[in-house]
Amino acid sequence: MHLITLILGTVLLHQAYSLECHCSQGSGCTNSKIECPSGQSCSSERHVSYSDGSKMSDVNLKGCALPERCVNRSMNLGVVQTLISSSCCATKLCNSANAPEPVQSPRNGKSCFSCVGQTCTSSLACTGNEEFCYSASVTVDGQHIPVRGCVPKEMCQGHSSCCEGDLCNSASSTSAGLLLLMAPLLSLGLLS
């Protein structure tokens, strides 16, 4: 009898503590809903990318997130800047609304190299939580493209390299056209 009570208690306790959230297509969800792992909240994120002051893309994402992901953030690659607003909540299906449109943060005094035209020697003024200079290489159609810019700390993992001093991400050549095409994809993959 105690074993049956223990099993039923475990099943019911799991159902009581698992958090169901709305989710975006392609983020591991079924029927636009997902069950979040323990320690995560429901989240709504809005990724907006700009080039020369004009909006290039505006994407809303929903799903589960760790508490440290529930902050507004941005990345600036010079030619393209992506701003992300994030809101999190902890009740069933509480993330039905889209996150608000992100706002531009003021300059923070940091400077990093970015790519313009065929060279990566332009100085870029970082904003908000973009406290690190970023340096990475991505491959597009078999061509290695260096990427430089300003990023928050959470992007300084994996295949990238980050440094804290002004203009510490040494310059290199690249193609601005390919960088414009890659920036929204980079922001979704690296900041989401």
Tens of pLDDT along 42-97?
Answer: 999 999 999 988 999 999 999 999 988 899 999 999 889 999 999 999 999 999 99
CA 75 to chain centre: 8
CB 130 within 8 A of CB 152: yes
Helix (H, G, I), strand (E, B) or coil at 129: coil
Give the phi and the psi of residue 27 in degrees, each rounded to 5. -110, 35
> At 143, which amino acid appears?
Q
User: pTM here?
Assistant: 0.73
**What order do you get walking across the sheet with 81-89 strand by strand?**
54-65, 41-51, 81-89, 73-76, 143-151, 132-140, 161-163
Q: Distance (Å, rounded) from C-alpha 156 to C-alpha 32?
A: 31
For domain 107-191, give the CATH superfamily: CD59 (2.10.60.10)
What residues in the chain have per-residue pLDDT under 50? 1-16, 172-181, 185, 190-191
pLDDT at 116: 67
How many residues are recorded in the chain?
192
pLDDT at 187: 52
CB 74 within 8 A of CB 101: no
